[in-house]
Chains A and B, each alone.
Chain A
Amino acid sequence: MSAGEQGIRLDRVSKRYGAAVAVDDVTLDIAPGEFVTLLGPSGCGKSTLLRMISGFADPSDGDIRIDGRSIVGLPPFRRDTAMVFQDYALFPHRTVAQNLAFGLRMRKLARPEIARRVERMLAMIELPGMGGRRIDQISGGQAQRVALGRSLIVEPAVLLLDEPLGALDLKLRRQMQSELKRIQREMRLTFLYVTHDQEEALTMSDRIAVMRGGRVEQYGTPTEIYNAPRTAFVADFVGEANLLPVEIASIEERLVSLRGRVLRAAEAGFETVRAGDAASIAIRSEAVGLSPPDEPGMVRLPAVADEILFLGAAVKLVVVIEGGGRMTATLPAGTPLPARGEAVTIGWRTADARIVT
């Protein structure tokens, strides 16, 4: 433990329930004021990790520190964290204002001070004058704001959010995403956000930890996660990627063999493999083009058009490539499209095909 250590540090944290491992040796640093998202499918351990930080579960192994001080073993009410629950957990026997005031009352603040801060919070969550409402008299979106405000009002060092937008419809969710981001920026708070929605993670986060099976697969900025996935899982989970199984043909020349056809791939990723290894190349669907120009730095493959899906701003073309295997290309709307069963040529730039393991 170093003096002057700032932010949250998860140090080789594990959580086991009997023989089942929910969180497996996770090490993660979160800087003060950072918006970090734990992203992964259900059962990947992201919520368990959050519960260990908030104090509702104890790690089986490892240490959790906030600003250099271990918080393991402290009860939730002695931790400088606040949690926004997935079901909001607003107290139904209290009004909106009473819900907001709860944390301040527990901290034994003076009544006028509590009233002042509740008023300010009502303005901040854009519910002025709604303090007297009962919880069953407000909408889902409003309840979401109250839940957020109730946690923010105690000015925690870290705000933990467990899929807080999961119950909202798409439009409201988008709106709340930018709202959350604004509040986090304005209050300069550390947000630790849990979601299984990759789009949400990409939009809001400073850094994303992609989790799978209790482990962190990759920790990086949204750009890194999206453009430079290190594993097939990350490439597949974040965005839509085509994963083609290949064999590493040559490290020096960055060549892979796709069912006997030798292709060149991007440089990154080759450092972790050896010639002869089985791996995959990941190509984002939007990096795949139709009838690409025949020029250096381009990979071209003959294929047969199989399905065409209209998405509005874009079109998805699913093709079967020569030798078997399907690939998806996301094309801008207006691209002249082949008919089903028509032979086409698809291709991508060498730099867009990354080795993942």
Chain B
Amino acid sequence: MTAADVPMRRHGRAATRALAFYAGLVFAFLYLPIAVIVLFAFDDKTVPGLPMAGFTTQWFARAFADGELVGGLATSVRLALCSAVLATAIAMPGAMVLAWRDVKVRTVVMCLVLAPIVVPQIVIGLGLILLFRAAPGLIGEPAIIIAHTTLTACYATMILYSRLLGFKRSYIEAAMDLGASDVRVFVEIILPLAAPALVAVLLLAFTDAFGEYIVAWFVAGFTKTLPIVIWGSMRGVLSPAVNAISAVIIAVSLALSVAAQIWIIRQTRAGRA
């Protein structure tokens, strides 16, 4: 029993109730905005609002018949996939060097890597549009991929770095000692053991790139990602179809993240010797 347990024990039931109430508040704060979208996706009114007029699934049909929304969704998925893979591919070698090699200016390098996180996105967007003036051909999809790769690669590096710090170096040394070349060590040992971290980073980078609006808007040209389509439609009358497509996205990403969590936990368990 630690010292922290004592007051908890004394107040017993009251404390437990207070904690439950507090937790409820936190979750409400986090999930109400999301819940409202899902709720209104089923509302049978053109301008959704409480009280609900009736239950309908027509907005889902409407959403999937809307070429602009579906097109935006497809574009966003495609571009986010590219950025996530690129960002992870860039982050992994950097993280390996930072975690395992004797880098003299490690702190400086880490601060520099983190900079894109602390710089306001609007500033990055501005900077990128100025930069892309030198290569106007890239504006559109390539520019969005590059921009999102920049944004996500920094924290991808940090997450992988922290995971690799705990990686037993002797695994690598043992493999080399048994005759594995550098490439074989990477493929046979590092990749499989780092797989949970890599999947986590891929998912995080994907969702971040998928939903990012500000920077994408600066460099998009005529490309319309889903956030750009939705933002554009807000200037007119907000169609409940947007709620419907958002509800679908929420469901899919929740399912994905739960599945990934389960897989990662299993992998990590199997990985513990």
Contact = CB atoms under 8 A, between A and B. Distances in A.
Interface of A: 54-56, 75-77, 81-83, 85-93, 102-103, 106-107, 134-136, 143, 150-151, 154
Contact of A89 (B171, B179, B184, B192): B171
B271 A92 contact: yes
Contacts of A150: 174, 178
B183 to A, nearest CB: 11
Contact of B179 (A88, A103, A134): A103
Contacts of B273: 88, 90, 92, 135-136, 143
A102 B184 CA distance: 11
A136 B269 CA distance: 9
Most-contacted residue by chain A among B174, B192, B271, B272 (CB, 10 A) = B174
11 contacts: A56-B173, A77-B178, A82-B178, A83-B173, A92-B270, A102-B180, A103-B178, A103-B179, A106-B178, A106-B184, A150-B174
A22 to B, nearest CB: 15
Most-contacted residue by chain B among A85, A86, A151 (CB, 10 A) = A85
Q: Classify chain B: how many residues form its interface, as a range.
A: 20 to 34
Interface in B84-101: none
A150 B178 CA distance: 8
A136 B270 contact: yes
Contacts of A82: 177-178
Most-contacted residue by chain B among A56, A76, A81, A93 (CB, 10 A) = A93
B176 interface: yes
Interface of B: 168, 170-171, 173-181, 184, 188-189, 192-193, 270-273
B189 A106 contact: no
Given A89-B174, A93-B192, A93-B193, A136 B272 contact: yes
Nearest to A90: B273
Given A85-B173, A90-B174, 11 more contacts: A55-B176, A56-B173, A81-B177, A85-B170, A89-B173, A89-B174, A92-B193, A106-B179, A135-B273, A151-B178, A154-B178
Most-contacted residue by chain B among A56, A86, A154 (CB, 10 A) = A56
Given A87-B168, A93-B193, A135-B273, A102 B175 contact: yes
A126 B218 CA distance: 67
Contact of A83 (B174, B184, B188, B272): B174
A75 B178 CA distance: 11
Contacts of B184: 106
Contacts of A85: 170, 173-174
A76 B270 contact: no
A271 B181 CA distance: 53
A77 B177 contact: yes
Contacts of B179: 77, 103, 106-107, 154
A55 B193 CA distance: 24
Nearest to A134: B270
A69 to B, nearest CB: 18
A135 B174 CA distance: 15
Nearest 9 CB-CB pairs, A to B? A106-B179, A89-B170, A103-B178, A89-B174, A92-B273, A76-B176, A77-B179, A135-B273, A85-B170
Contacts of A92: 193, 270-273
A143 B174 CA distance: 14
B176 A89 contact: no
Nearest to B191: A93
B177 A83 contact: yes
B272 A76 contact: no
